[in-house]
Amino acid sequence: MMILQIAWRNLWRNKRRSFIILTSIIVGVAATDWMDGLARGYTTQMLENQLGAHTAHLQIHAKGFNDNKTVQNFMRNSDSVMMAVKSKGQIKNYSRRIVTFGLLSSASNSSGISLVGIEPNQEQCVTTIHRNIVEGKYFTNTANEIVISRQMAKTLDVGLGDRLVAMASTQDGTVGSELFRITGIYQSPSLSFDKMYVYVPLQIMQQMLHVDDRIAEIAIIGKDIDSVEVMKKELSAKLGSTYEVLSYNDLLPSLVSQIELMNSLMYLFFVLIGTALIFGVINTFLMAVYERIREFGVLKSIGMKDVYLLIMIELEALLLGLIGSIIGTILGAGVVLIVGKVGLNLAIFSKGLTAFGSGAILYPRFDWFSIGIGAVIIIMICLLAAIYPARRAMKLQPMQAIMYV
Amino acid sequence: MSMLFKLGWRNIWRNKRRSILTILAIAFATFLTVAFEGMTIGTWEYSVSNSVELFSGYLQIQKQGFQENPSLNKNFAFPGKVADCINNVPNIIGFAPRIQTDGLISFRDNSSGTAIIGIDPQAEVKLSRFQDRIRKGRMIRQDGLDEMVVGITLLKNLSAEIGDTVVLLAQGYDGVMGNQKFQVVGAMKFGTAEIDATMILLHYQAAQELLAMNGLVNIVVIGTQGLQMVENVHDTVQESLQRHGLNHLSILTWSEVMPELKQGMDLDKINHSIFMAILVIVVAFGVMNTVLMSITERFREFGITLALGMQSSGLVKLVLIETIFISLVGIAIGGIIGHCVNLYFYYHPILLGGNVGQLYEEYGFLPMIIPTIRLSVPFIATGLIFLLCCLASLYPLYRVQNLEPLKGIRHT
Amino acid sequence: MKFLAIIFLALTQILVAQNVVDIVRKSEDLLKGVSSKGKFRMVVETPDFTRTMEMDAWWIGNEKALIAITSPKREAGNKTLKINNELWMYLRNTETTIKVPPSMMLQSWNGSDFTNDDLVRESSLPDDYTMNIIGEEELDNTLCWKIEMHPKPSAPVVWGKLNHWIRKKDYLPTKTEFYNEKGTLMRTMRYSEIRQFGNRIIPSKWEMFNNIKKQHRTSFEYLDVQFDITISDKVFSFRELEKGRSR
């Protein structure tokens, strides 16, 4: 394969030129990888911030509960629902909850809240509040523990270990109240969430509300976020019309539309940057070929067949593409992986975001498929980009070429 | 010197292919930057405007401390001196009073906690989107002192219909339990579950009556023509308030009234900036490579020029002049085309997702990509690319300066 | 002889050793009757306003109560009905009866320092607190027991500690101090102006001071009250609630 050898040596004969082309390719590939990683990381972050706080992928309630979160609308027979849930393969984790409007008061102040009764061991697998604990602990399964936000602690002027009384409307229409002691304080990225959500053990809340073993909702995390709608349909069909199965699309429509907007914008970016890249590569190849017209003229005049000229140029493009692509992918994917583990704290760019807490740390996400595709496409672009200049080379008259300035 | 200019200009057109390729690369880079920047800024502003106009308005005047601890006690007289302060401030498209508090609404056997907002229906039209959110019935009329609009989920929870009479209960400014009957004339939908299940709108004068707050309000909403005016108006009104001696009042921008929206938007902005940086890196390499190649390609020619007696410094100046010319042409073309593209999409924005009507109904605004047509965008972008071109030519110029004639002639 | 001595000793013990719970219960019973009916004046002072309200009220123990406001004119005709743990309000202006939901329970009752929940709460101090006499002090020129109270482990109360003064000679309360768990004094309740109503002698003025928001104060004054009379159950009915006039 002498022509391969020739092509290879051609590359290194003019280091400057090859280097310039390589950098275009490397930067192009790396940049696409970074963008892809960032884009994925960002939308995932946005979703996780919200879903992980409370919503999860799916929620099951008795019909009508979501519009009117009163005790009367709790699920009547949760066992059959639990059976349906447990039998679904795509469900990764689920947790049972009671959610109702209530009042929380300390000696200094009181505040309206969404009181959530949870089973901590299950809940940890479904939501991420336990990761946002800034003081104290999540739950240790001792009696009457309560977890509130830092904002709430400030409003009520309390700290770890202090006493709080929670009140809510019971099943029989009276007002139930219980004493709790603060075991943990959390801070989530969302201030409005923090102002409302308070957590207590499920059983205590069931006692307080006189609801025996009824629960209000089941929150579900599926194995794969993309199959949520399918899961919803299946569960809905199985459970019938006395229950409502709501996906995060139903529960957080404004978030979803925001993410769609983001995604579309990202897509636009990709198109623009991709175009920049392609153009850059083509341009560089063109220039490189024009630079070498004299050389091609000489080759033709010593008898090289046109088709070999084409193959030689294409091979050079292919080799450059391969090398550039590999180095670029290593650089691109490498950065994505490292920053993906460490996280890029966007708060360093904007003071206002420090209050956002963990929500401002961006974890670019690595996706084999995208990275692979990126590498391959660049190589193909190189091949394509070399065609036009190669054809021009082929059409040269040897004498014209040699005299070209 | 002028000879260098003439020489430079002619040099450019002697080799059309090379010059055109270089100009194209630069023009393309500029075009992309202008389009990118235009689209991201425009869409971002559109997003923010939508969210702001939906509810809080661009600016709010409140009594100090109201934002942290909203309560009826933190009120002030309206119109009064406040109106004087606002009236002559430029760039304001209107202002309106609001009263916000909690209450209880009751219909037959059902009752529910509510968030009460007393508004001036006519004045709000220019400032917020309440009108657009009506799904059933209608908005309260200017003279509708016994009319109420409720959230659509609230209507359902109460098992009430448009036309029904409900009782509203709220603790007034003086602690008295105000109670009054209202007729539900409309239902609105914001798309957020909590809001749709708790919000009600009343005429602000009805709210004043209910809450024993005659002549008083707790918020004044101010509208401007767009996001850019906000800071300016904020400062003008603040100064005006102080001048009128209204030191217990403060003026807040939307980012202070809705810090969470600001947070989300900041995050978005930074994300865009990162992408922009990546774009710039990519185009920078493209431009640098092109400029580098176009100069090194001509080393033979330069070698001869030097051998013919031109000074090294002269050559450098010449090449620099050529690069600058080319860059200017490139950025001009790219900038103009980019701006035209932005203009086109400004009038024909890209609508996202399916059914337009449904989107509006669901999310409260049309998700779309719309660029901004402010001239600052193309100017900054062209400036940036021009800078890049100059930087890109530094290394090649350095090579030119150190070029030895014979080495140049033998360059391949 | 021995037998008599033992009996005598036993009797003395019984007479002398009334424990603190007995004292407190006795004190509470003095203030409540099996039933009562009366006219009250409530004054609420805040930095923003001072309000005076007059009302008629009927009580049966801790289970039922009806309060009808008679003055000022703006609120006359508004009534509050309590049956066990539930509370209803009748508003004359709109002629509607509303059941008070939990969201309103901790709101102040008619702007006072008392919450709706305070009205409803059945608690008796010995139920929620363990108590000890820690000394004797003179208040209002009368010697009182000073009793320290700590909430029982699962009692749903927000206070960390109470100090309660009961007069030794007539078991009437004089003062209660409410502390939070950190030991900060949050509220003080004073009972004063002891008067005779019928065959009972009780403090006619009850004032609640807010020690944190210093200018907030609520006071209740019994203008007239009758104890242990027969009150028909019909009084504590919705029909009575919704009748436009107070008896």
ipTM score assigned to the predicted complex? 0.74
Which chain B residue has its CA at the smallest distance from A154's CA? B68
Contacts of C159 in chain A (CB under 8 A): 107
Query: Does a structural domain hold residue A251?
Result: no
Is residue B117's pLDDT more than 90?
Answer: yes
Residues 6+ apart with CB under 8 A from A154: none
Of A216, A240, A264, which residue is a domain's last? Answer: A240
Q: Which of B43, B271, B282 is facing A277, going by the closest CB pair?
A: B282
Residue A267 and residue A234 share a domain = no
Nearest-CA distance C48 → chain B (Å) = 8
Interface test with B, best of C87, C94, C95, C116 (most B CBs within 10 A): C94
Mean pLDDT of chain B: 85
Contacts of B364 in chain A (CB under 8 A): 254
pLDDT attached to residue B239: 87
Query: Does a structural domain hold residue A59?
Result: no
pLDDT in tens, C87-143: 888 888 888 888 777 667 666 777 777 777 676 665 678 888 898 889 899 888 889
pLDDT band at C18 (very low <50, low <70, confident <90, very high): low
Residue A270 and residue A215 share a domain = no
Structure tokens at B235: 């400062």
Nearest-CA distance B363 → chain A (Å) = 6
Chain C CB within 8 Å of residue A112 CB: yes
pLDDT in tens, C64-78: 888 888 988 888 888
Contacts of C114 in chain A (CB under 8 A): none
What residues make up the domain containing A115?
64-240
Count of B-C CB contacts under 8 Å: 55
Residue A218 and residue A112 share a domain = yes
Query: Does a structural domain hold residue A194?
Result: yes
Residue A264 and residue A377 share a domain = yes
- Residue C24: enclosing H or E segment and its boundaries? helix C20-31
Alpha helices of B15-136 — where are they, by DSSP H? Answer: 16-54, 80-87, 121-124
Count of domains for chain A: 2
Q: How far apart are CA A266 and CA B40, in angstroms?
A: 10
pLDDT in tens, C171-203: 899 999 999 888 899 989 999 888 888 888 888
Query: Does a structural domain hold residue A38?
Result: yes
Say whether B167 and C44 touch across the interface (CB within 8 A): no
Q: How many residues comprise chain B?
A: 412
Residue A280 and residue A184 share a domain = no
Of A176, A208, A240, which residue is a domain's last? Answer: A240
Residue A178 and residue A86 share a domain = yes
Query: Among all chains, which residue has been given the structure tokens 């070999």?
Result: A308
CB of C216 within 8 A of CB of C46? yes
Name residues 43-82 of chain C within 8 A of B (Cβ). Answer: 44, 46, 48-49, 51, 74-75, 78
pLDDT attached to residue B47: 80
Say whether B193 and A251 touch across the interface (CB within 8 A): yes
Say whether A38 and B197 touch across the interface (CB within 8 A): no
pLDDT band at C17 (very low <50, low <70, confident <90, very high): very low
Q: Mean pLDDT, to the nearest integer, of B115-120? A: 92
pLDDT in tens, B248-275: 888 999 988 888 788 778 877 887 888 8
Amino acid at A312: M
Query: Does a structural domain hold residue A248?
Result: no
Higher pLDDT, A90 or C26: C26
Structure tokens at C163: 């100090």
Is residue C2's pLDDT more than 70?
Answer: no
Q: How far apart are CA B323 and CA B385, in angstroms?
A: 13
Q: Which of C86, C101, C158 is facing A107, going by the closest CB pair?
A: C158
Structure tokens at C243: 């009748």
CB of C90 within 8 A of CB of C105? no
Chain B CB within 8 Å of residue C110 CB: yes
The tens-digit pLDDT sequence of chain A (405 residues) is 788 888 888 888 878 778 887 888 888 888 888 888 888 887 777 777 778 888 888 898 988 888 877 788 888 878 888 888 887 777 888 889 998 888 888 888 878 888 999 999 888 888 888 888 889 988 888 778 999 999 899 888 899 989 899 988 887 767 788 999 999 999 887 777 888 899 999 999 999 988 888 889 989 888 877 788 888 888 888 888 888 889 888 888 777 777 777 777 777 777 777 777 777 777 777 777 777 777 888 888 888 888 888 888 888 888 888 888 889 888 988 888 888 888 777 766 666 565 555 566 777 777 777 778 777 887 887 888 788 777 777 777 777 777 765
Residue A200 and residue A345 share a domain = no
Residue A217 and residue A85 share a domain = yes
Is residue C246's pLDDT more than 50?
Answer: no
Residue A388 and residue A263 share a domain = yes
Residue A183 and residue A313 share a domain = no
Nearest-CA distance C106 → chain A (Å) = 7
Q: How far apart are CA A336 and CA A365, in angstroms?
A: 7
Chain A CB within 8 Å of residue C120 CB: yes
Which chain A residue has its CA at the smallest distance from C213's CA? A108
Which chain B residue has its CA at the smallest distance from C74's CA? B176
Structure tokens at B74: 């933190």
Count of A-C CB contacts under 8 Å: 63
C124-130 — which CB contacts under 8 Å span 24+ positions? C124/C25, C124/C28, C124/C62, C125/C24, C125/C28, C125/C149, C125/C162, C125/C164, C126/C21, C126/C24, C126/C25, C127/C155, C128/C152, C128/C155, C128/C156, C128/C157, C129/C155, C129/C157, C129/C162
Spell out the domains of chain C, with CATH numbers in brackets: 20-242 (2.50.20.10)
Contacts of C105 in chain A (CB under 8 A): 103, 167, 175
Query: Does a structural domain hold residue A250?
Result: no
Chain B CB within 8 Å of residue C3 CB: no
Query: Does a structural domain hold residue A245?
Result: no
pLDDT attached to residue C119: 67
Q: What is the DSSP string of B247-316?
A: TTEEEEEHHHH-HHHHHHHHHHHHHHHHHHHHHHHHHHHHHHHHHHHHHHTTHHHHHHHHHTT--HHHHH
Query: Does a structural domain hold residue A308?
Result: yes
Chain C CB within 8 Å of residue A178 CB: yes
- Assign B345 to helix, strand or coil: helix
Which chain A residue has its CA at the smallest distance from C156's CA? A179
Which chain B residue has its CA at the smallest distance from A258's CA? B367
pLDDT in tens, B28-53: 888 988 988 888 888 888 888 888 88
Q: Which chains touch A (3 or more CB pairs under 8 A)?
A: B, C
Chain B CB within 8 Å of residue C111 CB: yes
Of A213, A240, A267, which residue is a domain's last? Answer: A240
Q: Mean pLDDT, to the nearest integer, of B141-153? A: 91
Residue A291 and residue A215 share a domain = no
Q: How far apart are CA B355 and CA A257, in angstroms?
A: 13
Say whether C98 and B73 touch across the interface (CB within 8 A): no
- Assign A241 to helix, strand or coil: coil
Say whether B171 and C108 touch across the interface (CB within 8 A): yes
Which chain C residue has its CA at the smallest distance from A173's CA? C86
Residue A229 and residue A122 share a domain = yes
Name residues 133-152 of chain C within 8 A of A (Cβ). Answer: 151
Which chain B residue has its CA at the smallest distance from C112's CA? B175
Say whether A165 and C157 touch across the interface (CB within 8 A): yes
Q: Which chains touch B (3 or more CB pairs under 8 A)?
A: A, C
